[in-house]
Amino acid sequence: MSQKVKFINTNKSAFFATTRKRVETYFKENEIPKNANSLMWVKAVFFVVGFFSLYLLILSGWFGTWAMLGLAVVLGAFAAFIGFNVCHDAIHGSFSKSSSVNKGLSYLFYLIGANPYLWNISHNIVHHTYTNIPGHDEDIEVAPGLIRLDESEKVNKIQRYQHLYAFWLYGLASLSWVLRKDYVKFFQKEIGQHRAKHPKQEYFNLFFYKLLHYFLFIGVPILVLNLTWWQAALGFLVMHLAEGVVMGLVFQLAHVVEGTEFPVPNEEGNMEEAWAEHQMRTTANFAPHSPVASFFLGGLNRQVEHHLFPKVCHVHYPAISKIVKQTAAEFNLPYLESPTFLSAIRSHYRMLRKLGKEAYLAKAQQPENKPTRTKVENYAPVEA
């Protein structure tokens, strides 16, 4: 990637200035800290204790084969929930006022096989800045050649069926993360357009904690339960498939549904719309009024609020969402929402079909000497 991207428009920043002022007023008038409250700590304890309890139950040897696989599935889901509810806020620095507490909680990422240092770069810096910009936001590069989420990418034959197989591939997200993605990102020259010289300590952390994860979830079961290597590997696989399905669905429903845009910079590499307005057009909420989604997904079902205020703990998103939605309407900006989890899945399915099968058929109907670029329509946001 040679082109550097930057946001140059400051004329429309009144939207974000107004929203931020109103949100600040909300916290001051109600004397509420922006960080974790008692509910947040209860959630953190629940998911961490639940994760370790499930792990110890598996090592107990009290259960049969099918029950053990079932526990591995739930363990994988809890790993994702720890990532959503604890690590995500901690790495953003929104869990606690104390940087030491945030750093300590971020180390739980190592436990579930991920790397908090790389996540900070790829997610906090790159994804939050260049959301849905093809070639810059690596979060929309799910499986190059197999899943097409970028309308500027050339569509191929296999992608005609991506609406049928993409959901299955999402299950590989966690395995890819644990076994391949972190290593690749660490040693590539740039992540997005961010170039960093990694501290020596991070080289040690990358390999040591990866090996620790493999040992805890493959080696220890073999030693304690007297399993064969393939039985332990199967449990490891099942755990990460469950984690990957949860992760993959949640991340895609926030940025690849009807109404979200995939803006491209001009020839000079400039984004002519202000950053905050860009976030409103590329990010969507789903199931915003579901207490179940809010509890388990760590506020990721309210991505609009998260992208505008990543330093605010997610337990406060329901309250500030009213401010964001009202201000967006005043400035004639979209506020994208799917009322339920299932409606968001259906919307994502339609996007996969449009970017795959429909784009391929449209390409096939074009004369060979007149190549065209397919374009996804901008749908009106789904009202909550």
pLDDT tens sequence across 285-324: 999 999 999 999 988 999 999 999 999 999 999 999 999 9
Residue numbers of the chain with a pLDDT score lower than 70: 1-3, 9-12, 193, 367-384
- Alpha-carbon span 82 to 342, nearest angstrom: 23
**For residue 356, what is the DSSP state?**
I
pLDDT value, residue 372: 45
Maximal CA-CA distance, the chain: 67
pTM for this entry:
0.87
Bridge partner list, 33? none
pLDDT value, residue 368: 59
**Number of Cα atoms under 13 Å in the Cβ half of residue 290:** 21
pLDDT value, residue 269: 74
Under 8 Å between Cβ of 7 and 268 = no
pLDDT value, residue 3: 67
pLDDT value, residue 240: 93
Of 111, 117, 107, the residue nearest 210 (C-alpha): 111
- Alpha-carbon span 237 to 242, nearest angstrom: 9
Of 235, 237, 242, 241, the residue nearest 57 (C-alpha): 235
Of 269, 348, 344, 336, the residue nearest 303 (C-alpha): 336
